[in-house]
A and B are shown apart, each in its own frame.
Chain A
Amino acid sequence: MAGLAGAASSGGDTFPKILLHNAKVFGDRTAVREKDFGIWQSWTWTQVRDNIRDLSLGLKELGLQQGQKVAIVGANRPRLYWSMVAAQAIGAVPVPVYADSVAEEMAYVLGHAEVAFAVVEDQEQVDKLLSMDSEVPTLKDIIYDETRGLRDYDHTHLHDFAAVQALGRKVLEKDPGTEKAWEDGFAPAKGSDIAVMLYTSGTTGRPKGVMLSFDNLIISARNANAFDHLDEHEEVLAYLPMAWIGDHVFSLAQAFTAGYCVNCPESLDTIDVDRLEIAPTYFFAPPRVFESMLTSIMVRMEDAGKTKRRMFDYFMGVARRSGEKILNGESVSLKDRLLYRLGEFFVYGPLKNRMGLTRMKVGYTAGEAIGPEIFRFYRALGLNLKQLYGQTEASVYITLQPDGEIYGDTVGKPAPSVELKIAENGEVLYRSPGVFVGYYKNDEATRSTKTEEGWVHTGDAGFIAENGHLKIIDRAKDVGKLNDGSLFAPKYIENKLKFFPNIKEAVAFGDGRDRVGVFINIDLTAVGSWAERNNVNYASYQELAAHPQVYAMIQEHVDQVNRDLASEPMMAGAQIRRFLVLHKELDADDGELTRTQKVRRNFIAERYAPLIEALYDGSTSKHVRTEVTFEDGRVGAIEATVEIRDMPAHEASGLQEAAE
């Protein structure tokens, strides 16, 4: 399966070996930047190697041994990335964990992984870990990056990151031979060794620890670099959770194999400004990031002057007509070509600059289906945004859209060295060099996911279209039928709703029922700004959500979606017949979304059972009481009376066909 690139082709088959190679080859090239104290601080590959080496030696002094697990908890910081490679150099396995998960979730993961060490960002994480003493008995030492607030803690098993590095340097000074010994230490490591353990956020059940080998990551990363022609000149922004496979591959595996520069933002709240300053050439974002960027543009345009607005509307029309064709290299009339140039100067260029995407060579979105309208918007601006379809178990890549072959409703062709097949029940299966080794301490789950021949069940329903592209409809288990037999793909409907800037989240119900009913979450930014412009008074999210004018606006959106659905033969039967606007924002802290912000359908169905009942019993309003969990773990309750509205169905304009 060596097709494009073997793991050992250049630089080595493990990250510590690639690190030495990069320090030699790229030496003074910038490897990492982090914005700190308002300035972008940078480190070259040589400095990165020295930092990792010092830390690694320090960890060894503290007693870290081969095979032990090291938890990594925090936001994207160079030191945390370094910790992963420093651990790997000793033969230990890093386990990045979602930093914002509540103590209970984290305790489960750390306990399951039996971590011995933890490298964390700051006091918040230290406190969290210290509170899990009993659940994670294996955890001995904690190393922290940010010293603040930790001065007076008991430091017997708590160490400052810099102090651990100093410890490593001391060993090095005492015996200069240590460096050679350190390098020799990881020389015998093989590509088939476990590189990292990533816990899947789990839309259902407990998180599972996905074990990935160096081969998995490095071969996949090299293939991806070759596929999109990425080299050491790229700039990426590392801002997605470190525990997520996407960030691990983009900010570590691909960065190491290609040698490009990873930029860590100042804080999670400054990402927009940081992206603008860095202007990444290779950019990855889940659909919600593109959605919220588009929402904020639309909101600002609403506030702009008349001339600007007209200019924006006119040139966006031009872009929608010809932008994507130009990007795909298709023929476009001279007039449109010229107008597009003009638009680039007046509208698209400044817009792209504002979003920090001016230099973007290639951008990907994945994780969830992106609304076709959102996707088209960015492509129309001339941004080479593409979709990919991936999974933790595949080291990300399953399918990718090749340049020039972009279809909004497909996720592309199989990535290099990936084989695809569709099972009887419509489930997508794949086999690739990136296929995970197994779930940690869960052979049963491994067996049910990965066949003996190495095929992995994705859990997604889809089919391969005539052009060879994979089309995903929904989670295999979510696709259902209405009682009249029409196909019901909830995510498909939800995505259509979510394209409206005013709608942040939607949850559709209908499987095994007579008609489709929908919960809607308004987007506070967009609707709040609309309320301000229209003199709508409100005191809280809850009040705004229940406002009759907001309802009227959402009703129009729902009607538009129904019209769209009516025009598609497969979907016309599943138009939205009733909807309600939820009185609270769906939140991961309440378990309604996963940590990657995906809707947990079953959980919501259970939690809001009275509302679902009301959707189907014909009542026009319903009083509900919902418990909410604050960030510090305290519990409160929100009460509200939610209105439910009926919607007319549109005549199907296409031919009605059976779903199969």
Chain B
Amino acid sequence: MNAIMTSEEMPQVAAPTAEREDLLRVDNVSLSFGGVKAITDISFDIKKGEIRAIIGPNGAGKTSMLNVINGFYHPQVGTITWQGQVRRKMKPYEAASQGIARTFQNVALFRGMTTLDNIMSGRSLKMRKNFFWQMMWYGPAREEEIEHRKKVEEIIDFLEIQAIRKTPVGRLPYGLQKRVELGRALAMEPDLLLLDEPMAGMNLEEKADMSRFILDVNQEFGTTIALIEHDMGVVMDLSDRVVVLDYGKKIADGPPEEVQASQAVIDAYLGVSH
């Protein structure tokens, strides 16, 4: 679990990204809070099966962008197309039930609950039996729960967190909490996984582990991933394509090598007066 593969060792998956189908399209989206413009006229797409990074200096509008995608913010201008259909205004839980899962920049778990229960809570949208049945925990409800538990155990195995299965997450170190949060998002079996700084505050080893998990999620489950990350090494190694924001505007979009070489990006990071 230690060595991160360099990008040239990484075997290329299926068709090149450009030819793949759009999972999500953002067209000319603008978002403002009162007079503050958080996002201005941004368009980009996320293809099925890719790892798409969103980067930019602090305050560039990255998290706002994620919040727009998962329906937490509603842009004043522009359209969002999800799996070929233009999306209407929706609540975050509607986005969740349509297959968009996310993790947060600051860990947002149920601190008093165990790892197992936290991940299990990610399954709640998939539970079909009503409250009464679940309370009785009998017959079909029980079968259903066993089915879900199996799925959750697969995720625990996948993320190698067996040892903390029954530990309340509040007692876990930060790196592990992040992993549990990823587990909860995976429990939804999402089509699109939004990761908001999955490696913030981690040490080198934890970052290496997390990178491997992200790659594995993408490969094993075919999950499309959009991630915000500040560690450029990680972004360049992991992502298929990168979109760069600065002051709410898109300043670059393309494969990592291309973006890295872009003068606009270099200026944004090194600071050029606007």
Which A residues form the contact surface with B (CB < 8 A)? Answer: 36-39, 124, 127-128, 148-149, 151-154, 266-267, 269-270, 273, 630-634
Contact = CB atoms under 8 A, between A and B. Distances in A.
A149 B157 contact: no
Contacts of B154: 37
Nearest to A268: B163
B204 A630 contact: yes
Interface in B1-51: 1-5, 11-13
A152 B13 contact: yes
9 contacts: A152-B12, A153-B11, A266-B162, A269-B163, A273-B163, A631-B205, A632-B3, A632-B205, A633-B3
A148 B159 CA distance: 11
B26 to A, nearest CB: 29
A545 B70 CA distance: 47
Interface in B201-249: 204-205, 208, 212, 215-216, 219-220
Contact of B205 (A37, A38, A152, A630): A630
A632 B4 contact: yes
B65 interface: no
A148 B13 contact: no
Nearest to A632: B2
Given A267-B163, A632-B2, A152 B11 contact: yes
Contact of A149 (B165, B205, B219): B219
Given A267-B162, A631-B205, A38 B219 contact: no
Centre residue among B1, B2, B204 by max chain A CB count within 10 A: B2
Nearest to A634: B204
Interface string B157-168: 110101101000
Given A37-B153, A632-B4, 18 more contacts: A36-B157, A38-B162, A124-B2, A124-B3, A127-B5, A148-B158, A148-B216, A149-B216, A149-B219, A152-B12, A267-B160, A267-B162, A267-B163, A270-B162, A632-B2, A632-B3, A632-B204, A632-B205
| A-B pairs, 6 with minimum CB distance | A269-B163, A37-B153, A152-B11, A631-B2, A632-B2, A270-B163
Contacts of A38: 153, 156, 162, 165
B126 interface: no
A615 to B, nearest CB: 32
Dominant SS at the A interface? loop
B111 interface: no
A631 B4 CA distance: 11
Contacts of B4: 632
Contact of B157 (A37, A127, A153, A633): A37
Contacts, number: 55
Interface string B55-68: 00000000000000
A229 to B, nearest CB: 34
B150 interface: yes
Contacts of A269: 162-163
B100 to A, nearest CB: 24
Contacts of B5: 127
A527 B215 CA distance: 38
Contacts of B157: 36-37
A149 B153 contact: no
Contacts of A153: 11
B163 A124 contact: no
A124 B220 contact: no
Contact of B1 (A36, A39, A124, A154): A124
Contacts of A127: 3, 5
B20 to A, nearest CB: 16
A614 to B, nearest CB: 31
Contacts of B165: 38
Nearest to B116: A38
Given A37-B153, A269-B162, A151 B3 contact: no
B171 to A, nearest CB: 13
A453 to B, nearest CB: 47
Nearest to B156: A38
B4, B160, B162, B220: most-surrounded residue (chain A CB, <10 A):
B162
Contacts of A149: 212, 215-216, 219-220
A148 B153 CA distance: 15
A632 B162 contact: no
A273 B160 CA distance: 15
Nearest to A271: B163
A282 B205 CA distance: 36
Nearest to A154: B11
Nearest to B151: A37
